[in-house]
Amino acid sequence: MNIFLDTKTIILLLGIGYLFTIILIFVYGLNHTKGATTKTFFIAKSFQTIVLFCMVYRGEIPDFLSIFLANSLLFIGMSLEVIALLSLQNGLRNKTKMFYFFMNLFGIIGFLLIFLFYNKEYVRIAYCSFITMAILFPVYRMVIGKVPTLLMRTIGSLYLLFIAGNLVRGLTALLSSSISTSFYTPGSYQLISLLSIYLLINLGNIGFFLLIKEKSDSELVRLASYDDLTGTLNRRTFTENAKQYLINYAKKGQPLSYFLFDVDSFKTINDTYGHQVGDQVLQDLTTRIKQYLSKDDLFVRYGGDEFGILMPGKDEGKSNEIAQQITQTFNEVISPNLPVTYTISIGVLTVIPNQYTQLENLYTTCDKALYKAKNNGRNGIFRSQIEEQHAVS
The pLDDT tens digits for 20-37 are 777 777 776 666 545 788
Mean pLDDT of 293-297: 93
Per-residue pLDDT tens digits for 39-56:
888 888 889 888 888 888
Mean pLDDT of 372-377: 92
What architecture (CATH level 2) is domain 7-224? Up-down Bundle (1.20)
Average pLDDT, the chain: 86
Q: How many CA atoms lie within 13 A of 1 on its CB side?
A: 1
Which comes out higher in pLDDT, residue 201 or 279?
A: 279
Domain boundary assignment for the chain: 7-224, 235-392
Could you say which of 3.30.70.270, 3.30.70.141, 3.40.190.10, 3.20.20.70 is the CATH number of the domain covering 235-392? 3.30.70.270
Per-residue pLDDT tens digits for 114-146:
999 999 988 998 999 999 999 999 988 888 877
Q: pLDDT band for position 388 (50/70/90)?
A: very low
pLDDT of residue 390: 45
Per-residue pLDDT tens digits for 303-326:
999 999 999 999 999 999 999 999
pLDDT of residue 189: 66
pLDDT of residue 387: 44
Mean pLDDT of 217-228: 83
Which comes out higher in pLDDT, residue 365 or 145?
A: 365
